[in-house]
Structure 1
């Protein structure tokens, strides 16, 4: 059985190659080609939402695939932008919406929003990473959480950022051995409690971030004894699971046998 720590370390070590493998997967490549060829034609929020392929791609890229049905909400988020503290994206207490409205800032940039090469590349990179993490999660949910934390934690500026993100909060609670019942407390009390236990600036330090993630993966395995992924299961699904290449599997096997 492969531990979450070993699986995470191997994926993280080969992250660039895993991302490239995911991007080259036919379904991902086709979706990305369509997005890049057509997103420039989008001149308004309604244009984006009326094209299901583009809309689903963007929503997936920003971790909002579970909210594609809520077009009314997404319309208000995108039309409100992020410049005002009262903008919906800033008040939803969920960083996914702010990230979406920041990238597709129709309120500030109007019809030129989708002509930004930065917006296009950010969306594509996010889509590939989201797909990779989802694929990894099919084999090891703990590794998926670890990869998400590695990507997102350095971007938060306060403990409220942790509390606003269920996945970040799950990692922190597991790493620190905190009860999920802390969510029953007042939000300010929760933030104060976390501030006494976590130095947010540590997440901008790669070594400290890595140490925290490994603390999470170790505790995750202790709490989920059936989570570690059997090597034979990885071998069986490798040909059909995007982002898990043969070289990655060899690295995983090497770690299992005590190699480096």
Structure 2
């Protein structure tokens, strides 16, 4: 197995080629063709929820594959949309739900919601990236974490978004050397600690983001025995990191830090 830093560098040196290779995987290509051929026929939330292949494709693209079962929540998110500041999508600190409601904005556009690029090519692009990250995570969780962080970090606006996302949280914890004693503790104390050691604005600079991820990948290899099977639970509800009660508090009560 290649070390985390080397594998990450190989993948990101020419991301266009890496993404192209992933898109040509037979399974990815088959599901993408089905999505592209059928998404325009989805005219309502009912259509979206009832077409299992479309629904699963979209949920995976939004990084919500582990929430496919939660159709009641997903329906509420889509029905309430993004116009009302108090809607589910706008209240939840987890931005994935707002991304879903934005891509499939039936609340605003009704039957024409899937006619826009954000419900078509943008979803396809996101699906391919999600698949790349998942595939890499099968061999090395550190590579998956780095790829995910590279994709999401420029969008971060406050540290509570990091605390609400176990994968982002794992990268930051490693890179800044957060003491284990703080993990799972007071949310505000953790936020202040992160803010004292990481300026989120620098992550919007590609060069600074690369430096940060170089630090992470090197520290990850030092701190982890990468020959052990990767721990995919960082991206699932039962993962380690911030305890579930803390995540619930962040997702439900924080509106921007």
Q: TM-score range by the shorter chain?
A: 0.7 to 0.9
CA contact (8 A) 2:176 2:198 kept: no
Question: Residue 111 of structure 1: CA displacement?
Answer: 1.2
SS of equivalent to 1:226: coil
- Going from structure 1 to structure 2, the CA distance change for 1:106 and 1:179 (only over 3 Å counts) comes to farther
The CA distance in 2 between the partners of 1:99 and 1:180, in whole Å, is 32
The CA distance in 1 between the partners of 2:43 and 2:65, in whole Å, is 22
SS of equivalent to 2:120: helix
- How many residues matched? 229
**Which residue in 2 is equivalent to 1:172?**
172
Question: Residue 26 of structure 1: CA displacement?
Answer: 1.4
The CA distance in 2 between the partners of 1:171 and 1:220, in whole Å, is 9
Deviation per CA, 1:55-80, whole angstroms, max 9, x where unpaired? 00001101111111110010001111
**Which residue in 2 is equivalent to 1:45?**
45
The CA distance in 2 between the partners of 1:130 and 1:67, in whole Å, is 15
**Which residue in 2 is equivalent to 1:123?**
123
CA contact (8 A) 2:8 2:147 kept: yes
- Going from structure 1 to structure 2, the CA distance change for 1:179 and 1:111 (only over 3 Å counts) comes to farther
SS of equivalent to 1:184: coil
CA contact (8 A) 1:4 1:227 kept: no
CA contact (8 A) 2:160 2:191 kept: yes
The CA distance in 2 between the partners of 1:77 and 1:209, in whole Å, is 32
**Which residue in 1 is equivalent to 2:33?**
33
Question: Residue 30 of structure 1: CA displacement?
Answer: 1.1
**Which residue in 2 is equivalent to 1:16?**
16
Q: What does 1:238-257 align with in structure 2 at a 5 Å threshold?
A: none
- Going from structure 1 to structure 2, the CA distance change for 1:163 and 1:105 (only over 3 Å counts) comes to same
What residue ranges of structure 1 are gaps of 5+ in the alignment?
230-260
SS of equivalent to 1:225: coil
The structure with more radius of gyration: 1
CA contact (8 A) 1:89 1:98 kept: yes
Question: Residue 108 of structure 1: CA displacement?
Answer: 1.6
Residue range with higher mean Cα deviation, 155-164 or 55-64: 155-164
Q: What does 1:198-213 align with in structure 2 at a 5 Å threshold?
A: 198-213=198-213
Deviation per CA, 1:177-219, whole angstroms, max 9, x where unpaired? 1135534333233222221111111111011100000111111
**Which residue in 1 is equivalent to 2:135?**
135
What residue ranges of structure 2 are gaps of 5+ in the alignment?
230-257
CA contact (8 A) 2:136 2:144 kept: yes
The CA distance in 1 between the partners of 2:5 and 2:12, in whole Å, is 10
The CA distance in 2 between the partners of 1:180 and 1:15, in whole Å, is 34
**Which residue in 2 is equivalent to 1:146?**
146
Deviation per CA, 1:109-159, whole angstroms, max 9, x where unpaired? 211110112321110000000011111111111001000000110011111
Question: Residue 106 of structure 1: CA displacement?
Answer: 1.4
**Which residue in 1 is equivalent to 2:59?**
59
The CA distance in 2 between the partners of 1:112 and 1:89, in whole Å, is 20
**Which residue in 1 is equivalent to 2:197?**
197
The CA distance in 2 between the partners of 1:75 and 1:111, in whole Å, is 16
The CA distance in 2 between the partners of 1:180 and 1:61, in whole Å, is 32
- Going from structure 1 to structure 2, the CA distance change for 1:194 and 1:132 (only over 3 Å counts) comes to same
CA contact (8 A) 1:221 1:227 kept: no
